[in-house]
Amino acid sequence: MRDPRHSILFEPVKIGPKLARNRFYQVPHCNGMGHREPSALAGMRGMKAKGGWAVICTEEVEIHPSSEVAPSIEGRIWEDRDLFAHERVVNAIHEGGALAGIELVFNGPRTNTASRLPPLGLNSMPVASEWLEPLQGRAMDREDFRALRRWHRNAALRARKAGYDLIYVYAGHGLTLTQQLLSRATNDRTDEYGGSLENRVRLIRELLEETRDAVGADCAVPMRMAVEESQLELGLEKAEIEDIVGMLAELPDLWDFCMGSWSRDSRTARFSAEGFQEPFVKGLKRLTTKPVVGVGRFTSPDAMVEQIRSGTLDFIGAARPSIADPFLPKKIEEGHYDDLRECIGCNICVAGDMQSVPLRCTQNPTMGEEWRRGWHPEVIQPKKRDARVLIVGAGPAGLEAAHQLGKRGYEVALTDSRNTLGGRVSRESRLPGLGTWQRVADYRLGQIAKLDHVETYPASTMTADDVLAFGATHVAIATGARYRADARGRAHPRGLMISEGASVLTPDDIFDGVQLSGQVVVYDDEHYALGSAIAEKLAGEGCSVTLVTPAPLVSYWNQLNLEQGFIERRLVEKGVRIIARATATEIVAGRFSAQDDVTGARLDISADQVVVLASREPQLGLINALKERQAEWADAGLESVTLIGDAHNPGMIVHATYAGHRYARELDEPMDADAVPFLRDMPR
């Protein structure tokens, strides 16, 4: 039963001529599908509509080829030929009972166009493309501004034709020409679009008025705007934001507030708490009678209610929580609080978009697979026959497999050699800032506890004899992987020679409670979050830490999830010395040696201990032993033995949960080994 305190979240709210069925609002978010995979995109957005979200918006949608942001895969509404894709998305959203919103965008000087049209900007400045291309935008003149307004109006008309209910004017995240016009940090024009705040607001006022004129009473016109630019000298400040909102107060039908850059708005849980944007948004609602939406990676219904009761927000905006649990509103509405699949704030979803691949989620393995594979986040097909499944290893892959197989109706036994179930999740989540990762295990353990035919056996090391005597029809080996101490990896394909007497450890030693002291080198050839988190942990325990990496930046991969800069800043604050572009050459007792990859110079660093992160070795002892006795399988009633998760191919937690889910979906299902295992969006 729903807690009566949460009923306010299910009140309908008017947005101009439209009525939202509740206060749950999926704000615009990118997804790596965009114009390339409209069917997959429609499947993803439509699933959220079924899950109870009242408003579901697109990613940024380019209004003209001169604002293309290749190689990113965003939406396009350049011409009428783009409408078939949008109609597919809108129809899927409407079928689920939600309103459909489109975020029109002109990126201007962020553009890196495949069309080879000259980028347009406020002034002649280098483009802010991902790879710092040596190209400058052309300073816009009056005719260019007239053209931009025409393009925006035409895009709004197309959006109305496609069936959208909300058509955005967008000035946020540091990406848009409109935000750059507002800010003194980027707008040094001296014409009617520069100088005074009234002039800097001029284009947004024109776009709001002209969009309203174009769509008439058929559509609502929201305004999405950055509410801080503290990362920039002369950036937008609270007083200016209040003046802007006051000047435009009643023009939009809704205000959607965001931070001044994507990395600041979508910070990982490692560097921000739930609702951290509130101080930047609080008080703005009093400046307008129109509804206000804001985000905060909200997963707690009580926190959501507080945002409404305090007068901070009218709608609970979400991107990442709607990805982790598309059915979050419906679960709260029906009082199924134990079933909430909470976002862990890891930004794997962001990384998918940055890599131009379909959206992925650590918590929700079905994300992006709704149309491609026909996967539903809450529904799975029943078993085809009675069978008993033994899963060895209760890490993220094993837990997900046990959960989903149990939902299918199989009899499942889940074993693990450790007393605590959760595998790497329970170990890695103890590192600084990674506590929310434990939600991956907690959610699945909670769901498994509800299934009578899934049994768990902690502190149970399985041998081949044990498996063969168990009476299982199928066995999934999810025994994980352990870090190698010899640094075998990208920089050292054959490993690194380590002298006798050198104290070399791995993250597994740290997780197992080995205490370090004195001077420590963390050698990170993995380039992910753990090397920096271990360095931070050791520095916090009093060690003198040097982090060495062959990559150009510490935690190089984490550029993709927007946290690399935050990681580097945190390490500097903790006193960790960082040496990048340096490859280890020798580890002896008391010394770590490396080569500067730029100059070739030798680097010698005093080291009482060295922690090495490179590759991990899949733990294959059990499956190898079973394969040696394959002749005994039939007599034991055993039909299959399958490696899943890190034991099959080590990766991030997102890869492990996906592997466990896929195993559960495909067990006892006929599969064509040579067929493409998912649907493909093909050109019309």
Q: What is the DSSP string of 380-420?
A: -PPPSS--EEEEE--SHHHHHHHHHHHHHT-EEEEE-SSSS
Which residues are CB-contacts of 198 (< 8 A; sequence separation ≥ 6)? 247
Closest of 137, 142, 236 to residue 182, by C-alpha: 236
d(CA 606, CA 325): 48
- For residue 175, pLDDT beyond 80: no
Judged against a pLDDT cut of 90, whether residue 229 lies above it is answered with no
Q: Residue 170 catalytic?
A: yes
End-to-end CA distance of the chain: 47
Give, in words, the CATH class of 4-354: alpha beta
Which tens digits make up the pLDDT trace of 5-24?
999 999 999 999 999 999 99
Separation of alpha carbons 177 and 139, rounded Å: 12
State the chain's mean pLDDT as an integer.
Answer: 96
- What pLDDT is attached to residue 294? 97
Q: How many CA atoms lie within 13 A of 106 on its CB side?
A: 29
| CA gap 548, 580 in Å, rounded | 6
* Residue 539 token pair: 């520095």
Helix (H, G, I), strand (E, B), or coil: what is residue 241?
Answer: helix
Architecture of domain 485-615: 3-Layer(bba) Sandwich (3.50)
Per-residue model confidence as pLDDT tens digits over 292-328: 999 999 999 999 999 999 999 999 999 999 999 999 9
Cα(492)–Cα(221) distance, integer angstroms: 56
Q: How many CB atoms lie within 10 A of CB 384?
A: 12
What are 99-118's pLDDT values in tens digits?
999 999 998 777 776 788 88
Q: Mean pLDDT lowest for which of 87-91, 124-128, 195-199, 244-248?
A: 124-128
Quick one: CA torsion of 122, 124, 127, 133, rounded to 10 degrees?
170
Whether the predicted pLDDT of 684 surpasses 70: no
DSSP β-bridge partners for residue 455: 413
From the list 82, 46, 67, the residue with the least C-alpha distance to 683 is 82
The answer to whether 366 and 376 have CB atoms below 8 angstroms apart is yes
| Catalytic residue of the set 170, 443, 483, 658 | 170
The lowest-confidence range among 127-131, 405-409, 456-460, 600-604 is 127-131
**DSSP secondary structure string, 273-314?**
-TTTTHHHHTTGGGG-SS-EEE------HHHHHHHHHTTS-S
Q: Which pLDDT does position 683 carry in this prediction? A: 67
Q: Which of 25, 29, 30, 64 is catalytic?
A: 30
CA distance 496 to 62: 49
To the question of pTM greater than 0.95 for the whole model, the response is yes
Q: What is the mean pLDDT of residues 601-615?
A: 98
Instruction: Please state the separation of Cα 279 from the chain's center in Å.
Output: 23
The C-alpha atoms of residue 160 and residue 164 are separated, in whole angstroms, by: 5
> Annotated catalytic, 173?
yes
Please give the helix or strand (H or E) that residue 171 lies within, else none. Answer: strand 166-171
Query: What is the reported pLDDT for 289?
Result: 98
pLDDT of residue 120 exceeding 70, the answer is yes
- Sign of the torsion formed by the C-alpha atoms of 597, 599, 601 and 603: negative
DSSP lists the bridge partners of residue 482 as 617
> What percentage of the chain exceeds 90 in pLDDT?
90
| Residues 407-414, mean pLDDT to the nearest whole number | 98
- Burial class from Cβ neighbours inside 10 Å (0-12, 13-18, 19+) for residue 65 reads middle
- Could you tell me which residues come within 8 angstroms of residue 554 by beta carbon, excluding any fewer than 6 positions away? 524, 531, 532, 547, 564, 567, 568, 571, 578, 580
Quickly tell me which residue has 């649990």 as its tokens.
325
Pick the catalytic residue from 82, 165, 265, 416.
Answer: 265
Q: Which of the residue ranges 112-116, 125-129, 211-215 has the most confident prediction, judged by mean pLDDT? A: 211-215
The pLDDT of 575-596, averaged and rounded, is: 98
Main-chain phi, psi angles of 332, to 5 degrees? -70, -45
pLDDT tens for each residue of 146-166: 999 999 999 999 999 999 999
SS3 category, 490: coil
pLDDT band at 603 (very low <50, low <70, confident <90, very high): very high
What integer is the mean pLDDT of 389-402? 98
Question: Which of 35, 64, 152, 173 does the annotation list as catalytic?
Answer: 173
Report residue 601 as tokens: 């110079």
Torsion of CA 573, 576, 582, 585, to 10 degrees: -170
C-alpha 84/C-alpha 163 separation (Å) is: 11
Residue 671 has pLDDT above 70, yes or no: yes
Predicted confidence at residue 125, as pLDDT, reads 87
Comparing 4-354 with 485-615, is the CATH topology the same?
Answer: no
Instruction: Give the tokens for residue 331.
Output: 């679960």
Domain residue spans of the chain = 4-354, 388-480+619-666, 485-615
CA distance 616 to 457: 26
pLDDT of amino acid 137: 86
The beta strands (E) that lie in 430-557 are given as: 454-457, 474-477, 481-483, 504-505, 519-524, 544-548
Evaluate whether 429 touches 529 at the Cβ level (below 8 Å): no
Note the pLDDT tens digit of each residue in 417-463: 999 999 999 999 999 999 999 999 999 999 999 999 999 999 999 99
Task: Give pLDDT tens digits for 497-548.
Answer: 899 999 999 999 999 999 999 999 999 999 999 999 999 999 999 999 999 9
Q: Rounded CA gap, 629 and 611, in Å?
A: 38
pLDDT score, position 419? 97
Find the largest Cα–Cα distance for the chain: 86
- pLDDT score recorded for residue 678: 92
Q: What is the CATH architecture of 388-480+619-666?
A: 3-Layer(aba) Sandwich (3.40)
